[in-house]
Amino acid sequence: MSGKKRVVVTGMGVISPVGNSVEEFKNALIAGKSGIGPITLFDTEGFDVRIAGEVKNFNPADWIDKKDARKMARFTQFAAAAAVQALCQAALVEKTGGGAEGGEIVTGWKLRSNAERTGVVLGNGIGGFEITTESFRKLFEQGPRRMLPLTIPLMIGNEAAGNLSMIFGAKGPALTQVTACASGSDALGQALDLIRAGRADVIIAGGTEACIGPFGIGGFQMLKALSTKHNSEPEKASRPFSASRDGFVLGEGAGIMVLESEEHARARGAEILAEFAGYGASADAYHITSPDPSGAGGSRAILLALEDAALRPDDVQYYNAHGTSTELNDATETKMIKIAFGDHAQRLKISSTKSMTGHCIAGGGGIEAIACVLAIREGFFPPTINLEDPGSECDLDYVPNTVQYGSITAAASGSLGFGGHNGVVVFKKYEPSPAARDAGTEEKQP
Residues designated as active site: 181, 322, 359
The closest alpha carbon to 257, from 115, 102, 374, belongs to 374
Query: Which H helix or E strand runs over 1?
Result: none
CA neighbours closer than 13 Å in the CB half-sphere of residue 38: 5
Q: What is the CA radius of gyration of the chain?
A: 21
Q: How far apart are CA 16 and CA 252, in angstroms?
A: 7
How many Cβ atoms from other residues are within 10 Å of residue 220's Cβ?
18
Taking the mean position of all CA atoms in its chain, how far away is CA 30? 18
Pairing of the two strands 274-283 and 37-38: unpaired
Q: CB-hemisphere CA count at 13 Å for 158? A: 5
In eight-state DSSP terms, residue 18 is T
Number of H helices, E strands in the chain: 14, 16
Backbone torsions φ then ψ of 295, nearest 5 degrees? 80, 5
